[in-house]
């Protein structure tokens, strides 16, 4: 079974631009969560989608948004990029939503904002 | 603020030494607990998890963790580390259906 895939793997953008990251979950998984990983802050939860609905949202500004499609693929969008948005963005999928499901992580998208 | 705390930022051990990585959380009520590992250049992967039952949980690669409810702790242990255990280890807690991670502990095992 293929793992979680994320595209693109690397991105370089400039301040003020916007970016869209994509995540394809493991086949059959309906929950997708997004995380931001930085050396200073560690792994921070962005949001979780289940069956095309946002179930939970972390403490990030409205510039960070996401959506999930009917095939469970998810996209994350960051508008008006800031230097501090430079990070590794991780996507994780699980069979169901909630705390009893193991999350499987993708390789991440490394975003650099110049 | 509610949080997940990993006490050690960087741990350096020699091969065959015993390992204990601390994890404390401050969420009340029922929580699910996890340890994830990220080997250099690889994805985060699950080491072990605790939902209920026996508080001593065994995971992959000889790791185990003990849930002590009274101490709000879920420490990770391994009796004898190997060079291949060099990685970053993350404790995670799942209260209220969203996963909260600790800052991570980098483990370096010297051959």
Task: Give CA–CA dist B99/A102, Å, rounded.
Answer: 10
Is it the case that residue A15 has pLDDT exceeding 80? yes
For the record, the structure tokens of B56 come out as 């001593």
pLDDT of residue A98: 66
pLDDT above 80 for A100: no
Query: Can you tell me the mean pLDDT for A11-20?
Result: 97
Distances (CA, A) of A37 to B5, B18, B90: 16, 28, 12
Alpha-carbon distance A39 to nearest alpha carbon in chain B (angstroms): 9
Mutate to test the interface with B, among A43, A56, A92, A106 (most CBs of B within 10 A): A43
Find the mean pLDDT for residues B13-23: 97
Q: Among residues of chain B, what percentage have pLDDT more than 90?
A: 77
- Contact: A42, B95; criterion CB under 8 Å: no
Q: What is the pLDDT of residue B1?
A: 61
Q: Do B43 and A97 lie within an 8 Å CB cutoff?
A: no
Q: What is the pLDDT of residues A33-45, one digit of tens each?
A: 999 999 878 889 9
Cis before A87? omega within 30: no
């Amino acid at each position: 079974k293929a793992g979680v895939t994320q595209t693109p793997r690397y991105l370089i953008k400039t301040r003020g631009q916007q970016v869209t990251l994509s995540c394809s979950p493991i086949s059959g998984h309906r929950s997708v969560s997004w995380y931001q990983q930085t050396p200073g802050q560690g792994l921070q939860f962005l949001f979780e989608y289940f069956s095309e609905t946002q179930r939970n949202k972390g403490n990030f500004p409205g510039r960070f948004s996401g959506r999930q499609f009917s095939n469970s693929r998810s996209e994350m969008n960051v508008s008006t990029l800031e230097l501090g948005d430079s990070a590794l963005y991780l996507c994780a999928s699980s069979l169901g939503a909630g705390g009893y499901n193991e999350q499987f992580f993708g390789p991440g998208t490394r975003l650099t904002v110049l | 603020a509610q949080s997940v705390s990993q006490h050690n930022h960087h741990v350096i051990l020699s091969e065959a030494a015993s390992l204990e990585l601390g994890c404390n959380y401050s969420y009340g009520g029922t929580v699910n607990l996890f340890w994830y590992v990220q080997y250099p250049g690889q994805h985060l992967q699950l080491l072990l998890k605790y939902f209920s039952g026996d508080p001593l949980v065994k995971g992959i690669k000889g790791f185990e963790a003990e849930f002590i409810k009274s101490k709000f702790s879920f420490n990770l242990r391994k009796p004898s580390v190997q060079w291949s255990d060099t990685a970053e280890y993350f404790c995670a807690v799942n209260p209220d259906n969203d996963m909260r991670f600790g800052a991570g502990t980098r483990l370096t095992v010297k051959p």
